[in-house]
Amino acid sequence: MMLRSIKSLATSPSSHILRRGYASEAVPDRKVAVLGAAGGIGQPLALLMKLNPLVSSLALYDIANTPGVAADVSHINTRSEVSGYSGEAELGKALEGADVVIIPAGVPRKPGMTRDDLFNINAGIVKGLCQAIAKYCPHALVNMISNPVNSTVPIAAEVFKKAGTYDPKRLFGVTTLDVVRAKTFYAGKAKVPVAEVNVPVVGGHAGITILPLFSQATPKANLSDAEITALTKRTQDGGTEVVEAKAGKGSATLSMAYAGAIFADACLKGLNGAPDVVECSYVQSTITELPFFASKISLMKKGSLLCEGSLMLCTFIRCSTLVRLGKNGVEEVLGLGPLSDYEKEGLEKLKPELQSSIEKGIKFANQ
Ligand SMILES: NC(=O)C1=CN([C@@H]2O[C@H](COP(=O)(O)OP(=O)(O)OC[C@H]3O[C@@H](n4cnc5c(N)ncnc54)[C@H](O)[C@@H]3O)[C@@H](O)[C@H]2O)C=CC1
Ligand SMILES: O=C([O-])CC(=O)C(=O)O
């Protein structure tokens, strides 16, 4: 693995973050591929990954329109070299050597649709992309954004199993947006500084399968049962709130790009050996009877220089404490911790729906 001194990168005014975080560090070269890079999420996510000094090579792939996005992003004077790939014939080149592959490819919801209504189109897209990942970068960490995440992650797992490349430590459903929302809504209601808030969100990524654990939220606040119920419902319906506000023009893109960038950043830190990187993610799990479940996984230590320096927007981010990530992906899936009676009830209620979405994905992949 090539190591590059970051000192030489820390000379322009725009690289103050690099100076702060990495003045005497050497960081390895890392390639990140974004599949669906010309889309509503893909474009701002490409921008945020271009701002991330942990990335040395950024490959932007879509079925069309990628050359323009890549040319645009490539003019930003940060570390990574950007390349654009358009159409299936170029997918292999986009993926070769990738350390992290982020997948926001597929159709978004319109008002009145559930995430599961996207299954018929997105399941096939994800299956095809994962077959290519198995072939061209079988060891990459895969960050699945495409909905329905509750089913697309099991689809990816089955595709990798068939190809003989499945490593459960390297496959992640990105549920970070649920955490981002829970933090924002909690801070507003509890009147605490949003930057200090941590809230684990477990389960899955659709409706009642999204279970924020406000009983574990910090800083602590004295919220009534009615307020907790309202906060839970708003977090579960956060995606629908955006879909309705966009009135037919898609779903969350900007907040999702932000959330996707946080999660990819955590994966890169884990790969680079930073200790105790922890995020919430939907992964293969044994903490409940369900084979996939979102919970805390371990990734890196709060407050270290790497954490503070690795993303421009880090001033607003505290690494949420929830799956331990390391050099091989997931290091540890953390337990649920103590639940309130309301959360215990929510957990039991979500299981049948999550189970059925998992089975649907597995069945599709094996057809
Ligand atoms: N996990 C989460 O929290 C969230 C997930 N999403 C999901 O992310 C997905 C993308 O959303 P948007 O970016 O808003 O949609 P979009 O329609 O704006 O962009 C999707 C992009 O995927 C591309 N695409 C389609 N087939 C492809 C293929 N075979 N290979 C590569 N690229 C392909 C399209 O050309 C398009 O550029 C949707 O499924 C949406 O539901 C959205 C928000 C949050
Ligand atoms: O709601 C949607 O369809 C997109 C999504 O997953 C979210 O915003 O959480």
pLDDT band at 311 (very low <50, low <70, confident <90, very high): very low
Per-residue pLDDT reduced to its tens digit, 90-131: 999 999 999 999 999 999 999 999 999 999 999 999 999 999
Question: Per-residue pLDDT averaged across 1-14, rounded?
Answer: 38
| Nearest CA owner, ligand 2 atom 8 | 239
Q: Which ligand is nearest to the CA of 124?
A: 1
pLDDT of residue 251: 98
361 is in an annotated binding site: no
**Residue 25 has what pLDDT?**
58
pTM as predicted: 0.91
Measured CA to CA, the distance from residue 301 to residue 272 in angstroms comes to 13
Torsion angle defined by CA atoms of residues 254, 256, 258 and 260, in that order, rounded to the nearest 10 degrees: -140
- Atom of ligand 1 at shortest distance to CA of 35? 31
Ligand 2 centre to CA of 148 (Å) is 9
Q: Does the pLDDT at position 198 exceed 60?
A: yes
Least confident piece of the model among 12-26, 29-43, 202-216: 12-26
- Per-residue confidence at 303, pLDDT binned at 50, 70, 90? very low
Question: What band does 326 get if pLDDT is binned at 50, 70 and 90?
Answer: confident
**Ligand 1 atom nearest to CA at 125:** 29
Written as one letter, the residue type at 258 is Y
CA of 312 to the centre of ligand 1 (A): 24
Has the ipTM of the complex gone over 0.85?
yes
**What is the model's pLDDT at position 291?**
95
- Above 60 in pLDDT, residue 306? no
Quick one: pLDDT at residue 62? Answer: 98
Cα 257 to middle of ligand 2, angstroms: 12
Q: What is the mean pLDDT of residues 36-47?
A: 98
Which residues are marked as active site? 205
Residue-wise pLDDT for 218-253, tens only, equals: 999 999 999 999 999 999 999 999 999 999 999 999
The protein residue whose alpha carbon is closest to atom 38 in ligand 1 is 108
Please tell me the predicted confidence (pLDDT) of residue 20. 35
- Give, for ligand 2, the residue of 103, 114, 115, 146 to mutate: max count of ligand atoms closer than 8 Å to Cβ: 115
Atom of ligand 2 minimally distant from the CA of 240 = 1
Residue 299: predicted pLDDT: 61
CA-nearest residue, atom 2 of ligand 2:
239
Q: What is the pLDDT of residue 7?
A: 38
pLDDT digits (tens, 9 = 90+) for 246-297: 999 999 999 999 999 999 999 999 999 998 899 999 999 999 999 999 988 8
Report the pLDDT value the prediction gives residue 253, as an integer from 0 to 100. 98
Question: Is 303 within any annotated ligand binding site?
Answer: no
Q: What is the pLDDT of residues 45-86, one digit of tens each?
A: 999 999 999 999 999 999 999 999 999 999 999 999 999 999
pLDDT digits (tens, 9 = 90+) for 147-164: 999 999 999 999 999 999
115 in a known ligand binding site:
yes
Residue 8: the pLDDT is 37
Is residue 84 within 6 Å of ligand 1 at its C-beta?
no
Ligand 2: residues within 6 Å at CB? 108-109, 115, 147, 177, 238-240, 242-243, 251-252
Rounded distance from Cα 133 to ligand 1 centre (Å): 17
Domains of the chain: 31-175 (3.40.50.720), 176-304+323-366 (3.90.110.10)
The pLDDT of residue 230: 98
Q: Is the CB of 132 under 6 A from ligand 1?
A: no
